[in-house]
Structure 1
């Protein structure tokens, strides 16, 4: 058994799930995920062609955490790869803070620094870091790379990062960071090939999924985004509230709610779930006849369209609108409603193209073009990991 310098693993850990993939250069050899960790774990995997393959058995000794799941996966991956082992693991880490503007090799010191940001992304950061820590303890010789969702937005001008708070607080790190950066970085890199007419211009990318945000690109660089200090701000999401008057938090504290209860409310019981009272899943809401489901979707579309207008102002106009991620790539009714609300910006929807998910969904001659482009955060992580390990 020997390490294969051409193989790289990608890990994206959540609170009760762990997604994984193995890359050789630009090709994904296999991918999969372990779900229901800590409750009733199950696993699935696919080969390079996207076809299902026998997944690792996680029921005999059920992992209690994503970190345990990763350690269980590594022998299975070695067997599937015919004894070849990965040369490094790349991890999605949601929050890199102000100091980390690019992917970095994992060290104990880096892990300690990143732990500080767990309270800013409680749905993600602790679970991103736990598998890294487990591998570092069990296999310290295996290189690991942390790829930050905040890094792509470090190009934003200071005025886009600043809160109107005392400047000393800004210097201590109280600023807008932005998230979904790996997704936006991938889309920005694909625009010259897939949408050359807008690639160098003023583009707003809508990463719409269970987590949702928008990013304004000028010549492929982030200049503004809707998420801020945490992944809670901006658009309403599956269970997160999005933009909220801070006085609401003060009001809830005065009424006796604890910080932990408020955190649970804003991160896990709000958003589309809270608005609808039914589900956080857009597919459920689109299929539901319930008035509250329709209202939740209307709020979402309104907030997306309003934010598009705000980012268009930051850009000084709009050349293109790109939809990506689970809802953005698959929910034609949501895209249609957003485009209709953005007609004033020059977006003219081609309904037939939208129904088949594009890639171009605007009419010929539309002043602002609209596209549907799949994102690939895993490939972005694999690229960063390969590049950093090679140096």
Structure 2
């Protein structure tokens, strides 16, 4: 039996779980710590809370981390060493919302559990084999050499859906991971062939605080005609837009449903439309669809969004829509146990 401490650092929360893997992962104890965006990115400071929760349980023999972006040089889950850490430092340029928090956790874990191997599980790995038509961005090709391409994210969630479907895995599957961050992925025969997020986790579906896809001319206009600099623009794109920007209230779907104001309603309807448009795009990439899976916090728990998606895609005859819980952490535990 391998005992894995899983640390899943997201844009709005830190999830932790202690798993016994023998050979399937079984959760022993776990929890979620809310981490507001304006509360800093030093997630290592939460280790006291985590260790209190783990008291009395077996000591982990390996630690698995969800890493949102490994950059251009890391496309496979791996054991963390100095070379990997250097690449993760550089990759923070691609995912400033997630990278620094993950690095802080890795360093804190090294102090708390010296000698315990740490494994990096990348959200981008599932998409690493996408065809060139999906990976290549429509910019001058000389930028490709610096790693500017479509990476795709929520790969661990997608992996977990494929694993759970098992023998029921269809040839043409669309996975809509809908949460604080949201993306839609086209899966053919168990492999990603296209996805809505691109170079960073900011593109694709309109999200809780992120713009999703937006006319690049809007950003150029704001740089040219307002006082915004690159740092302020990054804050606007990742922290102040999406449903938060539209509603002027919150990016939390529960808050918006309860508020029932005109702007909150608009934000919700825009999110639902954005999801439907991205699903339709992935169906085009697949040349049809056999199953749609809704997952993530909103996908699994907000029935209104599920119904809106079904209604928005009612033009597709006989669409098999399923709600399946994302098991990112269990997927990390499996990879960590295998690589320890």
Displacement of 1:14 in angstroms is 4.7
Match of 2:248 in 1: 277
Displacement of 1:258 in angstroms is 1.0
Map residues 206-245 of structure 1 onto 2, 5 A cutoff: 206-245=176-215
Q: Is the 8 A contact 1:37 1:65 kept in 2?
A: no
Go from structure 1 to structure 2 and tell me whether the alpha carbon gap of 1:306 and 1:31 turns closer, same or farther (over 3 Å shift): same
Go from structure 1 to structure 2 and tell me whether the alpha carbon gap of 1:35 and 1:303 turns closer, same or farther (over 3 Å shift): closer
Q: TM-score, normalised by structure 1?
A: 0.81
1:104 aligns with 2:100: no
Match of 1:69 in 2: 46
Give a deviation string over 1:262-287, Cα, whole Å, max 9, x none.
Answer: 11111111000111112111112122
Displacement of 1:139 in angstroms is 4.3
Give a deviation string over 1:119-143, Cα, whole Å, max 9, x none.
Answer: 2212111101111023335644110
3-state SS in 2 of match to 1:68: helix
Match of 1:191 in 2: 165
In structure 2, stretches of 5+ residues that fail to align are none
Map residues 309-320 of structure 1 onto 2, 5 A cutoff: 309-320=280-291
Q: TM-score, normalised by structure 2?
A: 0.93
Give a deviation string over 1:228-266, Cα, whole Å, max 9, x none.
Answer: 000000011111111011121111111221111111111
Match of 1:251 in 2: 221
Match of 2:106 in 1: 132
Match of 2:30 in 1: 31
2-side partners of 1:93 and 1:270: how far apart? Answer: 24
1-side partners of 2:266 and 2:31: how far apart? Answer: 35
In structure 1, stretches of 5+ residues that fail to align are 41-62, 347-365
**Larger relative contact order (CA 8 Å, sep ≥ 6):** 2
1:166 aligns with 2:140: yes
Go from structure 1 to structure 2 and tell me whether the alpha carbon gap of 1:240 and 1:36 turns closer, same or farther (over 3 Å shift): closer
2-side partners of 1:163 and 1:39: how far apart? Answer: 31
2-side partners of 1:141 and 1:37: how far apart? Answer: 31
Displacement of 1:297 in angstroms is 1.3
Displacement of 1:166 in angstroms is 1.9
2-side partners of 1:375 and 1:274: how far apart? Answer: 27
Map residues 292-303 of structure 1 onto 2, 5 A cutoff: 292-303=263-274
The structure with the larger Rg is: 1
Displacement of 1:64 in angstroms is 9.6
1-side partners of 2:36 and 2:283: how far apart? Answer: 41
2-side partners of 1:268 and 1:64: how far apart? Answer: 14
3-state SS in 1 of match to 2:55: helix
Q: Aligned match of 2:324 in 345, 368, 373?
A: 373
3-state SS in 1 of match to 2:315: helix
Q: Aligned match of 1:86 in 40, 60, 63?
A: 60
Map residues 341-352 of structure 1 onto 2, 5 A cutoff: 341-346=312-317
Match of 1:149 in 2: 123
Go from structure 1 to structure 2 and tell me whether the alpha carbon gap of 1:126 and 1:388 turns closer, same or farther (over 3 Å shift): same
Go from structure 1 to structure 2 and tell me whether the alpha carbon gap of 1:78 and 1:336 turns closer, same or farther (over 3 Å shift): closer
Go from structure 1 to structure 2 and tell me whether the alpha carbon gap of 1:39 and 1:111 turns closer, same or farther (over 3 Å shift): same
Match of 1:321 in 2: 292
Greater Cα shift, 115-124 or 379-388: 115-124
2-side partners of 1:38 and 1:272: how far apart? Answer: 15
Displacement of 1:39 in angstroms is 9.5
1:11 aligns with 2:7: yes
Displacement of 1:100 in angstroms is 1.9
3-state SS in 1 of match to 2:228: coil
